[in-house]
Amino acid sequence: MSATTRQTDPGQAPAPAFAVISGAQVQQALRGREKEIVELVEATYRLHGAGDSVNPPSYFLRFPDRPADRIIALPASIGGSVRVDGLKWISSFPANVNAGLPRASAVLILNDHETGYPFACLESSVISATRTAASAALAADWLSRTRPRPARVGFFGTGLIARYIHTFLTGTGWTFDTVGVYDVSADSAAGFRGYLEQSGAPGRVTVHDSAEDLVRSSDLVVFATIAGEPHVTDPAWFAHHPLVLHISLRDLAPEILLSAANIVDDIEHCLKADTSPHLAEQLTGNRDFLDGTLDDVMTGRLTPPSDRPVIFSPFGLGVLDLAVGSYVHDEVARAGQLRLIDDFFHDLRRYG
C-alpha cells in the first residue's frame, strides 16, 4: 500500500489518502540541503523552458478596504520525474510585521497526476522562501559567469526572504569580503546584522545609512522588500554595473531597467501586476528591453553582458513550489513521518 492510498472494501479501488505536513517537518526536510534544492530548481526551470509544465497566470485576491493586503493563488503542473499538479495559496499582509508575525503565510496543495485527488497539504511559507532563495542563488551563479564573481553583496530589505537568500548563497559556496545591509527599519537592519554575525559566514558586515551607499558599494545587490511601487529611480547608482537580484519586483524605476540587461524567469508572468518590467513595457510600448529568461542563459542561447548592470526579475513560478513541495513530501514519507488524515475522503461509492 502506497503512502497516498488506503485499503477499502475488496474489489474497490484503493481510496486516496491525505497527509498534512507541518512547517517543522518542511524545515527538517530542507535544512542543510541548499545545493540539492538549487539543483532541483534548475531542473525545474529547464523542464518549464522545454514546455513540460503548465503554469497559468497567478490570481490576485485584493481587498478594496485593505489595499496593502493580498492573497495569491499559483496553480501549476509539472512533468518530468516529478509529475504532480497543485496550488500554492499565499497571503501577504505587511502589517503582520508590526504584530511580530511574518508578512507571508501559505499552504501548498499537491494533487495526484493520475486521479486529480489532493494527497497532501503542506505549510508553505518555508517552501516559498526556499524556492525563492534557491532561484536567486541559481541566478547569481549563472549570471556571474561572464564577469568577475561578486565579492561585495548588499541586501536591500532585511526580512525572512533576505535571510533565506543569504543562507542559500553561502550554502552553495559563495563567500563575500563585505556584506552590506540597508532597511528603512533600523530595528530590522540591526536584527539582520545580528543574524549575519551569528551565522559565522565570512565578510565584514556594514549597515548603511542610505540606499545609495548600499547600491554603489555592492557588486551583487539583493532587493527583498515589500515595496508596492518603484522607489529607486537614479540609474547612476548602478554605474559600476552590478548584478542585481530584483526579487521583490517593484523597487526599480523603469529608467533603471532600460539602462540594464534584463533577465526574467518567465516573460508573460513577469510583465503584469505593475512589476517594474511591466511598467517599463508600459513606458516604452514594447518588450525590447528584455534580453531573455534564465533558461535562455542556462541553455546558452543568451550570454549576459559585463558592460551593463544585469537585473534578474523573477515573478516566482508555481512549478518551483510544486517541485520543492513534492521533494518535501517524499522525504517525509521516506522517513515514515507522514501524518495521514483517516477518512478525509468520504462517500466514495458512486451509488452509495
Mean pLDDT of all residues in the chain? 94
pLDDT in tens, 17-53: 999 999 999 999 999 999 999 999 999 999 999 999 9
Q: What is the 3-state secondary structure (H, E, C) of the chain?
A: CCCCEECCCCCCCCEECCEEECHHHHHHHHCCCHHHHHHHHHHHHHHHHCCCEECCCCEEEECCCCCCCEEEEEEEEECCCCCEEEEEEEEECHHHHHHCCCCEEEEEEEEECCCCCEEEEEECHHHHHHHHHHHHHHHHHHHCCCCCCCCEEEEECCCHHHHHHHHHHHHCCCCCCEEEEECCCHHHHHHHHHHHHHHCCCCEEEECCCHHHHHHCCCEEEECCCCCCCCECCHHHHCCCCEEEECCCCCECHHHHHCCEEEECCHHHHCCCCCHHHHHHHHHCCCCCEEEEHHHHHCCCCCCCCCCCEEEECCCCHHHHHHHHHHHHHHHHHCCCCEECCCCCCCCCCCC
Residue 47 and residue 27 in one domain: yes
Q: Are residues 163 and 279 in the same domain?
A: yes
For residue 11, the Cα-to-chain-centroid distance in whole angstroms is: 45
Which string of b and e fits 319-328 if b means at least 16 CB within 10 Å?
Answer: bbbbbbbbbb
pLDDT for 350 = 77
CA 211 – CA 335 distance, rounded (Å):
46
User: Are residues 231 and 299 both part of a single domain?
Assistant: yes
302 and 157, same structural domain?
yes
Q: Is residue 348 part of a domain?
A: no
pTM for the whole thing? 0.93
Give how many domains the chain has, as a whole number. Answer: 2
* Residue of 157, 210, 149 lying closest to 177 (CA atoms): 149
CATH of the domain at 26: 3.30.1780.10
Whether 111 and 242 map to the same domain: the answer is: no
Query: 188 and 307: one domain?
Result: yes
Q: What pLDDT is stored for residue 5 in this prediction?
A: 53
Q: What is the CATH number of the domain that holds 232?
A: 3.40.50.720
For residues 165 and 307, state if they share a domain. yes
As averages over each run of 10 residues, the pLDDT of the chain (352 residues) reads 46 77 98 98 97 95 95 96 96 90 94 94 97 98 96 96 97 97 95 94 95 98 95 98 98 98 96 96 98 98 96 96 98 96 85 75
Same domain, 133 and 205: yes
User: Looking at the domain assignment, is residue 349 inside a domain?
Assistant: no
> According to the model, what pLDDT value does residue 102 have?
87
119 and 200 housed in the same domain? no
Give a yes or no: residue 270 inside a domain. Answer: yes
Give the end-to-end CA distance of the chain in Å, rounded to a whole number. Answer: 24
**C-beta of residue 102 within 8 angstroms of C-beta of residue 160:** yes
Domain holding 240, by residue range, is: 128-313
Q: Please indicate, yes or no, whether residues 82 and 146 belong to a single structural domain of this protein.
A: no
- 350 domain residue, yes or no: no
Is residue 108 located within the same domain as residue 186? no
* Rounded Cα–Cα distance for residues 139 and 162 (Å): 15
Burial of 97 (0-12, 13-18, 19+ CB in 10 A): middle
What is the model's pLDDT at position 9?
52
Q: What is the four-CA torsion angle of 103, 142, 292, 154, rounded to 10 degrees?
A: 40
Residues 116 and 135 in one domain: no
